[in-house]
């Protein structure tokens, strides 16, 4: 069963996440399909790529596949985690990647969406950062994705509460580019993609890469990085982390004890 649908029409590539049984959870299998799809669309000289869920989706993506997270003693979001590969593939894709959002975007999927170049959302869409709900120590580059997408205090609110925010608020905050009625979402996204595709692809590609490099240009001392990694290890080695993952699998609310 293909975990994505993919097509290229008039220099525009379309990738549709297609694993509704698991609410498009970002499993290794689905992530690999999206990354391969991006590479194929680059070869077909697509000048813009839209990543979407099927029309009418209540969940765009439920985030990292929790069943594939380690149950402790290993960094759950290390360099080689599928989610990290997907975020980098989007950021390094040679043409703009547009997230077309309908439904809820959860956890690591929120980072994937925020790593896209533009975000067009239906007015019913919601966005939730969920590490605190599971007890996951999010990784440094992921936190930078959030900080590049939303005001500092909003990142704190979203990460500390793990509560979804509605598209209207996300747009007011500048986190997303456009909010439209669900029945206009595809047409508006398509029009934006065609406008981009009608401009100079080389210039756009270079400006995208310049912005990626500049957005990532945040000095962090080796000691600072090592301190963060040490603190993250305490979290992913904690009983709370194990409890968060176990509670999800047992479909119950976790009981965190701060140890």
Q: Which spans of this chain sit near ligand YXS (rule: CB under 6 A)?
A: 22-23, 25, 59, 62-67, 104, 106-108, 130-131, 133-134, 136, 138
Q: Which residue, 41 or 53, has its beta carbon nearer to ligand YXS?
A: 53
Q: Cβ closer to ligand YXS: 48 or 146? A: 146
The CB-of-92 to ligand YXS minimum distance in angstroms stands at 21
Nearest residue to ligand YXS, by Cβ distance, number only = 107
Residue 136 CB, shortest distance to ligand YXS, in Å, is 4
CB-CB contact of 127 with 111 (8 Å): no
The secondary structure of 170-222 as a DSSP string is HHHTTSSSEEE-GGGHHHHHHHHHHHHHTS-HHHHHHHHHHHHHHHT-----H
Kindly state the tokens that stand for 95: 């043409």
Query: CA 36, CA 173: separation in Å to the nearest integer?
Result: 33
Residues 6+ apart with CB under 8 A from 165: 126, 127, 128, 158
Minimum CB distance to ligand YXS smaller for 59 or for 100: 59
Residue with Cβ nearer ligand YXS (43 or 252): 252
- CB of residue 152 to ligand YXS, shortest distance in Å: 18
Q: Which residues are catalytic?
A: 64, 108, 138
Shortest Cβ distance from residue 184 to ligand YXS (Å)? 24
HSE at residue 33, side-chain half, CA atoms within 13 A, is 19
């Amino acid at each position: 069963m293909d975990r994505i649908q993919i097509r290229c029409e008039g220099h525009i590539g379309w990738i549709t996440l297609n694993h509704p049984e698991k609410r498009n959870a970002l499993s290794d299998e689905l992530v690999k399909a999206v990354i391969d799809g991006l590479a194929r669309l680059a070869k077909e000289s697509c000048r813009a790529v839209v990543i979407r869920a099927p029309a009418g989706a209540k969940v765009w993506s439920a985030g990292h596949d929790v069943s594939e997270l380690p149950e402790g003693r290993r960094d759950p979001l290390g360099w080689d985690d599928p989610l990290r590969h997907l975020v980098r593939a989007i950021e390094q894709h040679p043409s703009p990647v547009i997230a077309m959002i309908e439904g809820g975007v959860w956890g690591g999927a929120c980072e994937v969406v925020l790593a896209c170049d533009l975000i067009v959302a239906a007015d019913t869409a919601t966005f939730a950062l969920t590490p605190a709900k599971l007890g996951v120590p999010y990784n440094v580059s992921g936190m930078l994705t959030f900080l590049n997408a939303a005001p500092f205090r909003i990142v704190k609110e979203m990460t500390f509460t793990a509560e979804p925010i509605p598209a209207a608020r996300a747009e007011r905050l500048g986190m997303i580019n456009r909010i439209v009625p669900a029945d206009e979402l595809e047409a508006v996204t398509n029009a934006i993609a065609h406008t981009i595709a009608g401009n100079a692809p080389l210039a756009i590609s270079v400006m995208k890469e310049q912005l990626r490099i500049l957005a990532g240009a945040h000095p962090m001392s080796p000691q600072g990085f090592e301190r963060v990694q040490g603190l993250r290890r305490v979290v992913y080695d904690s009983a709370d982390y194990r409890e968060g993952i176990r509670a999800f699998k047992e479909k119950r609310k976790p009981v965190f004890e701060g140890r």
